[in-house]
Amino acid sequence: MPLTLTITEGVLTEGSEAQAIQELTDAMLESHGLAGNSVMTPNITANLHILNKNHTFSGGKPFSGVWVEWKVPSFAFSDRDIQLQYFKKATDIIEKLSGYSHPRDNIYVNVVHAVDGAWNFDGIAMTNEQIVQAIS
């Protein structure tokens, strides 16, 4: 379940990027009741993109932003309460790690769902049902 964290340079306090990844990962697992799950935890991966200030835009104009994007099977984040809980928590995490200097309305969180069966653990394409069985 890859997390892509994209940040305009200078938004987070220096050196806090790894902490942001860890906290966003922990919050995702917690919001789904999977904290400490031995199958799901190592299948949460992340990549970080820090972009130059003149490479991020809003309305076509340069600005500073943060984008938290998850790519997950279609059952993840499907519950509205989980969406509300996680999106608030993710926004809180980024705001805190910016030293409360980055505006909340320039923090974006979204989820992209994979087609059922188009997900793998250990190189094996798995359906949603198989994934749920594996993490149970």
Pick the CATH number of 2-135 from 1.10.357.10, 3.90.199.10, 3.30.70.270, 3.30.429.10: 3.30.429.10
Contacts of 17 (CB under 8 A, 6+ apart): 5, 7, 48, 50
List C-alpha distances in Å: 8 to 12, 13, 17, 136: 8, 12, 12, 38
Q: What is the pLDDT of residues 102-114, one digit of tens each?
A: 999 999 999 999 9
**Over 90: is that where the pLDDT of 14 sits?**
no
CA distance 65 to 108: 8
CA distance 87 to 125: 28
Residue 70 DSSP symbol: E
Q: What is the pLDDT of residues 22-79, one digit of tens each?
A: 999 999 999 999 999 999 999 999 999 999 999 999 999 999 999 999 999 999 999 9
Output the pTM of the full model: 0.93
Q: What pLDDT score does 120 carry?
A: 86
